[in-house]
A = this chain, B = another copy of it.
Amino acid sequence: MQDEQLDLIFKALADSTRRRIIDHLSRHEAQSLFEVCAASVAEDGVALSRQTVSQHLSVIEKAGLIETTWKGRTKAHSLRITEDHTAAASWLANYKEKEPTI
């Protein structure tokens, strides 16, 4: 895994707003920007501007965690977490001390 890719993934995860968005997308497929905004208010009580949510989605997308498809004037965002992503995010596990096998 490239250093830049690790940067993108960890930076995407290093913000609680983005983690909430990811959590929402995990429970709802193919969400539009407006649906994510609405959920942010309804579920998390956080009122963010549409443009701000769009920026967060862009960061998550650049990390490769989201797949998007256009349907008419609506852009659908779907979470697509692969083995590669979880392996990267688990980078730290490489450095865990080995437990003594009892």
Contacts and interface: CB of A to CB of B under 8 A. Distances in A.
Interface of A: 3, 6-7, 9-11, 13-16, 19, 22-23, 26, 65, 79-83, 85-86, 89-97
A92 B91 CA distance: 12
Nearest to A2: B16
A14 B16 contact: no
User: Chain copies in the assembly?
Assistant: 2
A89 B91 contact: yes
B93 A89 contact: yes
A14 B18 CA distance: 14
26 contacts: A3-B16, A3-B19, A6-B19, A7-B15, A7-B16, A9-B92, A10-B10, A10-B11, A10-B13, A10-B14, A11-B14, A14-B14, A19-B91, A22-B92, A23-B95, A26-B95, A79-B95, A81-B92, A81-B93, A81-B95, A81-B97, A83-B96, A85-B92, A86-B90, A86-B92, A86-B96
